[in-house]
Amino acid sequence: MTGAPDARRPLPPLSSPAFARAFALAVFAAVFARYAIVAVAGEVTWATIVAGLCAVGAAVLYVRRDELELVRLAPTTLVLLVAWAGASVFWSPSATHSLGGWSAFAALAFLAVVLGHVRDALQTVRALGDVLRWLLGVSLALEVLSGILLDLPIPFLGIQGAIAELGPVQGIFGTRNALGFVTVIALITFLVEFRTQSVSVATAIASVVLAGALAALSGSPTVIVVATATGVAALALWTMRRVPTAWRGRAQAALGSVVVVGIAGAWAFRAPLVDTLGAGADLTLRTDLWARLVHLSEMRPVQGFGWFGEWVNDAVPFALVPLGLGETHASALNAYLDVLLQLGAVGLLLFVALGGLGLARGWLVASDRRSVVHAWAPLTLVALLTVSMFESFTLTGAGWLLLALCAVRAGQSRSWRERLEQRMASSPTGGSEEGRL
C-alpha cells in the first residue's frame, strides 16, 4: 500500500528526514555503547533507553504507515526466529530470565526493522560511521588517560590501562575481542564512506587510522581472522562486479565452490593456522567448552532449553557447564552453538537461514548495482558470520542489531515478495503500481 502525503497537511515531525537521522544516531549510540551505559548507570537504565527507542520507532512507523506494506516489513526468517525464541519461554527452565532475554532480542530486531525502513543504505552507513567515530575516539581517549596520563586502570569500565605496553586495550566495549569486533565493523563502514565520498578525505583517513590502530592495540586473534575473511570477501566482490553480466552467474557458482573448498582447507589445516596466530591456549579452552555444550544440547536437541541471550550462570543449562569444565563462562564463545543450546536444531536452522539468505541477497545486490554503498551489508554479514564461530556477539547487542538490519536491508531488494509483485505487474490482469519500499 502506497500513498502520497496530502499537500495541504504539514509533514509530521516524526516522518522528517532530520528526525529519522537523529533516531538512527540514537539507536546506534545506545546499542554500541551498551557496556559503558550499563557500567555507569545500570542494566535498568539501558533497558529503559531501548524501550523508549522502541516506542519512538513504533510512532515513526505509524506516521509512515501509508508508505509501508505489512508483508514486506521484515524478512520471514527474522520473524520466525524471533517468534521461535519467544515460544521457547514456555519450555524454559527459567521463564522469567527467558522472557527478559527475549524482550531484549525482540526489541533490537524491531529497531533494526524501523531503521531499515526510515534510512536508505547510504544514510545508514553515514549514521553508523558518525557513531563509531565518536565511540572509538572516546575509547582511545580513555585508554590514554588510564594508561599514560594517570597510569591507573578504570575498573568499572574494564579498562586495564595497558596502552603504554601496546595493549591489549578494551576501550568502552568491555573486552579486547569486543573492541576488535567493533573496529572491523568500523573499518568496513569507514571505507564505504570513503568510496562513496560521503565524508571528506581527511575525515575518512583519520577514521580508518583510528579504527586500525585500536584493532592492532586490542591484540585480539579474532580480529585477524575476521578482518582476513572480510578482506577476501571484499576482493571477491570487487572482482565479481567487473565480470560481464552474461558470465556472472557462472562466476558466482565458481566462487561458491572456492569458498566451500577454502573453508574445508582452513578446517583441515586449523592446527598450524592456530599456531601461527598464537592462539593455541585460547582455542583449547574454546574446544573444551564447545564439546561440553554439544553434550548438553543433546538433552534437548530439537527445541533447546529456551532463549536467554546472555548466559545466566545460576540457571539451567548454564549452571551445568562448570560441572564438566570447572569454570564459568558468559557465553558459548560460538554463536551457532549458543543458538543450538538455547533454541535447538530448529533455532539453529532459522539462524543460519537468516544469515545465509541475507548474505546471498546482499551479495547479489552488491554484484549487480554500481554504487559501492551496497557492499556494506554483505561485507558486514561476512564479518558477523565469521566472528560467530569464535564469539556470541551476533546474538545480543550491536551484533544482533546489525545482523537483523542487514537481513532487512537485503530482503527489501531480493525476496520472493518482490518477484511475486513483478510477476503480478507484468501479467495482463496484474497491477502496475509497485511498493515504495
| Domain-located, residue 342 | yes
What is residue 64's predicted lDDT score, i.e. its pLDDT? 86
Higher-scoring residue by pLDDT: 283, 226: 226
Count Cβ atoms below 10 Å from residue 352 Cβ, excluding itself: 15
Nearest to 400 by CA among 48, 102, 119: 102
| Domain-located, residue 431 | no
Instruction: Give the angle 132-137-140 at the CA atoms, nearest 5°.
Output: 125
Q: Would you say residue 240 has pLDDT above 90?
A: no
176 and 102 Cβ atoms separated by less than 8 Å: no
Separation between Cα atoms, residue 176 and residue 158, nearest integer Å: 10
Higher-scoring residue by pLDDT: 43, 272: 43
359 and 378 Cβ atoms separated by less than 8 Å: yes
| Domain-located, residue 344 | yes
| Domain-located, residue 197 | no
Higher-scoring residue by pLDDT: 435, 242: 242
Q: What is the mean pLDDT of residues 99-117?
A: 95
pLDDT tens digits for range 315-356: 888 888 876 666 777 888 899 999 999 999 999 999 999 999
Provide the strand spans (E) within 222-366.
none
Nearest to 194 by CA among 212, 220, 218: 212
Q: What is the mean pLDDT of residues 101-123?
A: 94
Q: Would you say residue 432 has pLDDT above 50?
A: no
Separation between Cα atoms, residue 64 and residue 2, nearest integer Å: 10
Helix 280-297 to helix 335-368 angle (10° resolution) is 110
What is residue 209's predicted lDDT score, i.e. its pLDDT? 96
Q: Would you say residue 426 has pLDDT above 80?
A: no
What is residue 54's predicted lDDT score, i.e. its pLDDT? 97
SS3 356: helix
| Domain-located, residue 129 | no
Q: Would you say residue 419 has pLDDT above 70?
A: no
| Domain-located, residue 134 | no
pLDDT tens digits for range 352-401: 999 999 999 999 888 887 788 999 999 999 999 999 988 999 999 999 99
Q: What percent of the chain has pLDDT over 90?
A: 56
Residue type, 223: V
Where on the phi/psi map is residue 311: left (φ > 0), alpha (ψ -120 to 50), or beta? beta
313 and 373 Cβ atoms separated by less than 8 Å: no
Separation between Cα atoms, residue 388 and residue 360, nearest integer Å: 17
Q: What is the mean pLDDT of residues 82-105?
A: 94
Q: Would you say residue 423 has pLDDT above 70?
A: no
Residues whose CB is less than 8 angstroms from the CB of residue 214 and which lie 6 or more positions away in sequence, other chains included: 136, 139, 140, 169, 171, 179, 183
114 and 401 Cβ atoms separated by less than 8 Å: no
Mean pLDDT is lowest, of 42-46, 122-126, 152-156, for 152-156
**Which residue segment(s) compose the domain that 307 sits in?**
72-118+243-414
Nearest to 94 by CA among 350, 415, 318, 335: 318
SS3 326: coil
| Domain-located, residue 93 | yes
What is residue 143's predicted lDDT score, i.e. its pLDDT? 94
Q: How many domains does the chain have?
A: 1
Q: Would you say residue 238 has pLDDT above 70?
A: yes
What is residue 10's predicted lDDT score, i.e. its pLDDT? 56
pLDDT tens digits for range 167-182: 799 999 989 999 999 9
Q: What is the mean pLDDT of residues 95-111?
A: 95
pLDDT tens digits for range 193-211: 999 999 999 999 999 999 9
